[in-house]
A and B are shown apart, each in its own frame.
Chain A
Amino acid sequence: QKEVEQNSGPLSVPEGAIASLNCTYSDRGSQSFFWYRQYSGKSPELIMFIYSNGDKEDGRFTAQLNKASQYVSLLIRDSQPSDSATYLCAGRRDFGNEKLTFGTGTRLTIIP
Chain B
Amino acid sequence: DTGVSQNPRHKITKRGQNVTFRCDPISEHNRLYWYRQTLGQGPEFLTYFQNEAQLEKSRLLSDRFSAERPKGSFSTLEIQRTEQGDSAMYLCASSFGTAMNTEAFFGQGTRLTVV
Contacts and interface: CB of A to CB of B under 8 A. Distances in A.
Interface of A: 4, 8, 31-32, 34, 42-46, 49, 51, 88, 90, 95-105
Contacts of A99: 33, 45, 48, 56
A11 B29 CA distance: 36
Which of A32, A90, A97, A104 has the most CB atoms of chain B within a 10 A radius of its CB? A97
Interface in B38-96: 40-45, 48, 55-56, 89, 91, 93, 95
8 contacts: A44-B106, A45-B106, A46-B103, A46-B104, A49-B101, A88-B43, A98-B104, A102-B44
B87 to A, nearest CB: 14
A43 B45 contact: no
A102 B102 contact: no
Contact of B91 (A32, A43, A51, A104): A43
